Amino acid sequence: MTDGILGREYPAHTFEVEKGRIAMFARAIGETDPVYFDAEAARAAGYRAIPVPPTFAFTIGLEGGSPARVIADMGIDKTRTVHGEQRFDYHGPIFAGDVITSRQKLVEDYEKKGGALRFLVVETHMTNQDGEAVCDLRTVIVVRNG
């Protein structure tokens, strides 16, 4: 089904975490905690810099093309897809000023409902500028087969 791309690892993508992007994301999700907007508040709360909200790592993955690259490589019409599930496994914090490198891999491809629905599972591993693992994402994309 995956025409040779199951297990494919995509080129790494680097993303510099900017405090303005953190603030914009925090506002978009309705976050009001000052630690996401103000460096002084973040330090007072014990952080070394402004931390990212818990689901911000998905933004990093999107910047790297995850999972759109997989969908494009498979020749799937993106209008037939929907984001089905998302999991975040944090291994360490992500802060403003960090440089995150993400690596994406297609790990599963299966069908349900007699082939009417196809599920693509993409894993994205993220490390910071010190090479420390900070987050692993597991994204499930559902494709409506025609």
Q: Indicate whether 29 belongs to any domain.
A: no
Can you give the CATH number for the domain in which 108 is found?
3.10.129.10
- Reported as a single tens digit per residue, the pLDDT across 88-133 is 999 999 999 999 999 999 999 999 999 999 999 999 999 999 999 9
Q: Indicate whether 137 belongs to any domain.
A: yes
- Reported as a single tens digit per residue, the pLDDT across 3-36 is 568 888 889 999 999 999 999 999 999 999 999 9
Number of domains within the chain? 1
**Residue 44 or residue 72, greater confidence:** 44
Residue range of the domain that includes 90: 13-17+51-144
Could you tell me the pTM of the whole model? 0.89
- Reported as a single tens digit per residue, the pLDDT across 58-73 is 999 888 877 788 888 8
Q: Indicate whether 42 belongs to any domain.
A: no
- Reported as a single tens digit per residue, the pLDDT across 131-144 is 999 999 999 999 99
Alpha-carbon distance of 22 to 68, in angstroms, equals: 22
Q: Indicate whether 38 belongs to any domain.
A: no
Nearest to 16 by CA among 69, 46, 52, 41: 52
Q: Indicate whether 102 belongs to any domain.
A: yes
Rounded to whole angstroms, what are the CA distances from 71 to 10, 20, 45, 78, 137? 13, 30, 41, 7, 17
Q: Enter the tokens of residue 1.
A: 């089904």
In the chain the first and final C-alpha atoms are separated, in Å, by: 15
Q: Indicate whether 2 belongs to any domain.
A: no
